[in-house]
Amino acid sequence: MEKLIKENFELAAHQYKILAENTPADVMPRNYSPTENKFTTSKTTWWTSGFFPGSLWYIYEYTKDSAIKAEAEKRLGIIEHVKNYTGDHDLGFMIYCSFGNAYRITGKPYYKETVLTAAETLIKRYRPSIRSIQSWDSSANFRCPVIVDNMMNLELLCWASDETREPKYKVIAIDHTSTTLKNHYRSDNSSYHVVDYDLVTGKVVRKKTAQGFSDESAWARGQSWGLYGFVLMYRFTKEAQYLEHAKKISKFLLHHPNLPKDKIPYWDYNAKEIPATYRDVSAASIMASALLELGIYADKEEKKEYAKAAKKILQSLSTNTYRSMPGENSGFILKHNVGALPYNSEVDVSLTYADYYFLEALMRYRNWYLYK
């Protein structure tokens, strides 16, 4: 694993220099489609905009490559304004993954202040009547939608509370987590993607999917988001209920009959075309990173299971089946991701967040498991 981790970070440094060259200075990379040979960028307010600079910081942390650091700093400059963005709930992805890592690695106060400003902005989307943070604005399709992905943005709030000793951010995060546990999860410990609320009564209107196979299916990336979210909430609160729920989610995922032997999930665990359908590498990357942290809080036998599964995922992702060759895919590291198949959006492409959580998982394995 030590050799595999080193190999991946050396490849990542090479690839991300290519990705930086391919990305104009005022936007962020979003995806690359090999079937269309098309590289797509995003504006800085797109929900994935923080993953490119965040990945650069992980690469710099491992390699100490000054060119990578310079690119990371340059990209922070164009995304900083997002700390005041109230258009959706994804400030954790956009600011914590980028500026949060920058502060963790460098200790610069300016980075910390940016993250704290983002936390204050995010809580403006908290809705007391439903005890949750509203994900998307109301539309013809949804009144007040909350998606399971939103669990990921709670890290920003909990961190802000711990840094400032101001409890309001963590109180909102706990509120949101408790509501998610109550309304998003089924008896088999799989999660709905979207829960729509009535803001006046606070009651659930309906439970739907936006990116999964069906309303009642287990959309793969959503399951990974949920697992990661409950693990991080246990980290910050030590609430036993959150840890137990994370373990239940992991059991659902790791023992699912439709999980392939290489542990790279299909885009939805209930997709009717299985096995003749797409894998979602991003779901695997997120799951691996979450399992590695979950192992820290588990007993010896559970830790062994989680670490073994995460190791298998990382090994699978490091094969030519899922990983780019040097110079391929416009500079992205991983391939075979699915964004939103029902909309034919970002199907079988490279994506920034798959790379980000892959690098994070590699760092976690090195720091927490490699020399233990």
88 is an active site residue: no
Q: Which residue(s) pair with 32 in the sheet?
A: 39, 350
- Scanning 191-320, the segments in alpha helix (DSSP H) are 220-237, 240-254, 281-297, 300-317
Q: Pick the catalytic residue: 90, 175, 196, 280?
A: 90
Q: Structure tokens of 156?
A: 């920003």
Burial classification of residue 11, based on how many CB atoms lie within 10 Å of its CB (0-12 exposed, 13-18 middle, 19 or more buried) = middle
Task: Compute CA distances 258 → 218, 267, 320, whole Å.
Answer: 11, 11, 22
149 is an active site residue: yes
Expressed in percent and rounded to 5, the helix, strand and coil fractions of the chain are 55, 10, 30
DSSP states along 140-189: SS-SSEEEGGGGGGHHHHHHHHHHHT-THHHHHHHHHHHHHHHHTB-TTS
Element housing 6 (H / E): helix 2-22
Q: Pick the catalytic residue: 65, 88, 149, 268?
A: 149
Residues with a catalytic annotation lie at: 90, 149
